[in-house]
């Protein structure tokens, strides 16, 4: 924990707190009162400023709109029983953000600037952190090319923005997934590991097609043969096979999820056997048939843990048993909840505490 810096702050004259229904927090519907801004120019970031949330002045010629230099992160902050606010694993998110920036030829964000920006913005909008069970303040840092000109080039100007949004539990029912055996999210050597905007835009079409068939998301497979599992549209994916927690090994086509890493760390401490390796679609089908596949769930910042009820493989729906309180996924979710809330020791120093 550090002291919040003395950034230039322009407070809003009209808070939208009273217009926000904290009992019905749709994900991303409400944006908090303020946002943080900084500009990259002449090889350095400007001193961050905090201003009321609102429109940005830009032209339709900014390079991000034409050539895709745009990346973001997704983080969460939680209200604790003592009234403090916990930003969960900012160091890991910062590391991943800079990997995304590097892949997209964009300037990195110094850690001190990143953590002080988070601290200052959370402190200003502390009343936006919800307190109901399962709720949190979602934090969205993003960077995009702001240079205004046409022509394919790496931009010389960028804008760093942080927004926050109060959110409730992300998913209310288990997922129905379709194994995607035609379309490709990304390929080895591509930017699949980066949280760049194009990864999501390119996934919309096959996802919409799957939804028309009654599924919630697609389960992406490798680009070469569509034989091996990569990840779900918005999450990493994990399975319990033969009593082992199994998840696809990280590659340049798979996002290095912070929740994924947290769950694997906690599971190892419990002595749960773990395998990070290639998982074939055929192995999943076989696991369903011989009942050795007992759990399947997604892991991500937004959802934390999202149970999977059905996986469709080549036209056949396979049903996964409903998780019990003793299931690995719910045990790991409970542990994460208790660590973030201060009810379990933070032995890994994952929590960054803002005292307000």
CATH number at residue 120: 3.30.470.10
One domain for residues 12 and 126: yes
Residue 303: per-residue pLDDT: 81
Check which CATH number belongs to the domain holding 182 and give it.
3.20.10.10
Whether 356 is in a domain gets the answer no
One domain for residues 61 and 163: yes
One domain for residues 184 and 230: yes
One domain for residues 149 and 212: no
Whether 332 is in a domain gets the answer yes
Mark which of 115, 147, 169 sits at the end of a domain: 169
Whether 284 is in a domain gets the answer yes
Mark which of 169, 186, 210 sits at the end of a domain: 169
Q: Where are the alpha helices (DSSP H) in 68-150?
A: 90-103, 111-124
Q: Label residue 136 exposed, middle or buried (CB < 10 Å: 0-12, 13-18, 19+).
A: buried
One domain for residues 186 and 141: no
CA angle 328, 176, 72 (to 5 degrees): 80
Residue 1: per-residue pLDDT: 46
Whether 351 is in a domain gets the answer no
What spatial distance separates the first Cα and last Cα of the chain, rounded to whole Å? 12
One domain for residues 74 and 132: yes
One domain for residues 117 and 184: no
pLDDT, tens digit only, all 356 positions of the chain: 455 567 899 999 999 999 999 999 988 899 999 999 999 999 999 999 999 999 999 999 999 999 999 999 999 999 999 999 999 999 999 999 999 999 999 999 999 999 999 999 999 999 999 999 889 999 999 999 999 999 999 999 999 999 999 999 876 689 999 999 999 999 899 999 999 999 989 999 999 999 999 999 999 999 999 999 999 988 999 999 999 999 999 999 999 999 999 999 999 999 999 999 999 999 999 999 999 999 999 999 888 899 999 999 999 999 999 999 999 999 999 999 999 999 999 999 999 999 98
Number of structural domains, the chain? 2
Whether 273 is in a domain gets the answer yes
Exposure of 356 in the CB half-sphere (CA atoms within 13 A): 23
> What's the per-residue H, E or C state across 308-349?
EEEEEECCEEEECCCCCCCCHHHHHHHHHHHHHHCCCCCCCC
Whether 355 is in a domain gets the answer no
Whether 1 is in a domain gets the answer no
One domain for residues 188 and 131: no
One domain for residues 36 and 157: yes
Domain of residue 316, residue span = 175-341
One domain for residues 184 and 248: yes
Whether 23 is in a domain gets the answer yes
One domain for residues 231 and 258: yes
Mark which of 117, 139, 169 sits at the end of a domain: 169
One domain for residues 134 and 182: no
Q: Where are the beta strands (DSSP E) in the chain?
A: 8-9, 34-41, 44-45, 49-52, 70-72, 75-79, 85-88, 136-145, 158-167, 175-179, 217-221, 229-232, 236-241, 244-247, 274-276, 293-300, 304-313, 316-319, 351-354
């Amino acid at each position: 924990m550090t002291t919040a810096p003395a950034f230039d702050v322009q407070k809003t004259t009209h808070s939208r707190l009273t217009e926000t229904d904290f009992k019905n927090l749709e994900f991303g519907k409400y944006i908090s009162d303020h946002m943080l801004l900084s500009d990259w120019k002449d090889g350095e970031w400007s001193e961050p400023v905090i201003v009321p949330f609102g429109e940005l002045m830009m032209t339709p010629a900014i390079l991000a709109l034409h050539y895709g230099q745009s990346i973001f992160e997704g983080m969460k902050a939680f209200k604790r029983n003592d009234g403090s606010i916990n930003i969960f694993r900012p160091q890991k998110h910062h590391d991943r953000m800079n990997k995304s920036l590097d892949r997209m030829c964009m300037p990195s964000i110094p850690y001190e600037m990143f953590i002080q920006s988070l601290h200052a913005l959370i402190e200003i909008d502390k009343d936006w952190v919800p307190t109901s069970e399962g709720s949190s303040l979602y934090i969205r840092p993003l960077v995009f090319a702001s240079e205004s000109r046409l022509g394919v080039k790496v931009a010389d100007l960028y804008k760093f923005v942080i927004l926050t949004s109060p959110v409730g539990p992300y998913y209310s029912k288990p997922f129905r997934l379709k194994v995607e055996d035609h379309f490709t999210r990304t390929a080895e050597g591509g930017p699949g590991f980066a949280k760049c905007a194009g990864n999501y835009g390119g996934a919309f079409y096959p996802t919409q097609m799957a939804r028309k068939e009654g599924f919630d998301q697609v389960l992406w497979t490798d680009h070469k043969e569509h034989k091996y599992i990569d990840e779900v549209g918005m999450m990493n994916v994990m399975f319990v096979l033969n009593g082992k927690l199994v998840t696809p090994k990280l590659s340049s086509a798979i996002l290095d999820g912070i929740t994924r890493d947290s769950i694997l760390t906690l599971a190892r401490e419990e002595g749960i056997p773990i395998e990070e390796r290639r998982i074939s679609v055929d192995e999943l089908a076989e696991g369903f048939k011989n009942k050795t596949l007992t759990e399947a769930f997604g892991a991500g910042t937004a959802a934390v843990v999202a149970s999977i009820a059905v996986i469709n493989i080549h036209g056949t729906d396979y049903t996964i048993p409903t998780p019990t309180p003793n299931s690995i996924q719910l045990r790991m979710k409970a542990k994460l909840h208790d660590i973030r809330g201060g009810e379990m020791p933070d032995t890994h120093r994952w929590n960054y505490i803002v005292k307000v």
